[in-house]
Amino acid sequence: MCGIIGYIGHRPAVPILLEGLKRLEYRGYDSAGIAYIQQGKLKVIKSEGKISILEEKVFSNDPLHTTIGLGHTRWATHGVPNEKNAHPHMDLSGNICVVHNGIIENYTKIKESLKAKGIDFRSDTDTEVLVHLISEEYSKTQDPLTSIRYCLKQVQGSYAIGVMFSDRPKELWAAKHSSPLIVGIGVGENFIGSDVPAFLPYTKDVIFLEDEEIARLTTEHVDVYSLNTGDKIKKQIKTIPWDISLAQKGGYKHFMLKEIMEQPRVIFDALAGRVNYKTKRILLNELNDLGIPDKIHIVACGTSFHAGFWGKYLFESLAKIPVEVDIASEFRYRDPLIRKDDLVVVISQSGETADTLAGLRMAKEMGSKVVGICNVVGSSVARESDKVLYTQAGPEISVASTKAMCSQMVVILLMALYFAEKKNLMEPDKHNQLIMGLKDLPNILEKELPKTREIAKELSVMYSFARSFFYLGRGLNYPLALEGALKLKEISYIHAEGYAAGEMKHGPIALIDPEFPSFVIATKDHLFDKVVSNIKEIQARKGPIICLTNPDVKVSANHIWQVPDLGGILTSFLILPALQLFAYETAVYLGKDVDQPRNLAKSVTVE
Q: What is the C-alpha to C-alpha distance for residues 575 and 523, in angstroms, rounded to an integer?
A: 9
15 cis-preceded (ω within 30 degrees of 0): no
- Cα separations in angstroms, 203 against 1, 19, 200, 221, 373: 23, 14, 5, 15, 25
* Among the listed residues 96, 78, 175, 86, the one whose alpha carbon sits nearest the alpha carbon of residue 134: 96
Residue 385 contacts residue 346 (beta carbons within 8 Å): yes
Residue 67 contacts residue 12 (beta carbons within 8 Å): yes
Catalytic positions are 2, 602
Residue 42 contacts residue 53 (beta carbons within 8 Å): no
Instruction: State how beta strands 31-38 and 68-74 pair.
Output: antiparallel
Q: What is the C-alpha to C-alpha distance for residues 29 and 49, in angstroms, rounded to an integer?
A: 8
- Which residues are 281's β-sheet partners? 276
What lies within 8 Å, CB to CB, of 604 at 6+ separation is 1, 301, 302, 353, 354, 355
* Among the listed residues 538, 580, 579, 570, the one whose alpha carbon sits nearest the alpha carbon of residue 555: 538
Question: Read out DSSP for 266-288?
Answer: HHHHHHTTTEETTTTEE--GGGT
* Among the listed residues 343, 239, 339, the one whose alpha carbon sits nearest the alpha carbon of residue 298: 343
Residue 555 contacts residue 581 (beta carbons within 8 Å): no
Q: What is the C-alpha to C-alpha distance for residues 221 and 208, in angstroms, rounded to an integer?
A: 15
Residue 407, H or E segment? helix 403-422
606: helix, strand or coil: coil
Q: What is the C-alpha to C-alpha distance for residues 368 and 293, in angstroms, rounded to an integer?
A: 10
Q: CB count, 10 Å around CB of 589?
A: 14
- Cα separations in angstroms, 455 against 114, 459, 514, 564, 577: 61, 6, 22, 14, 12
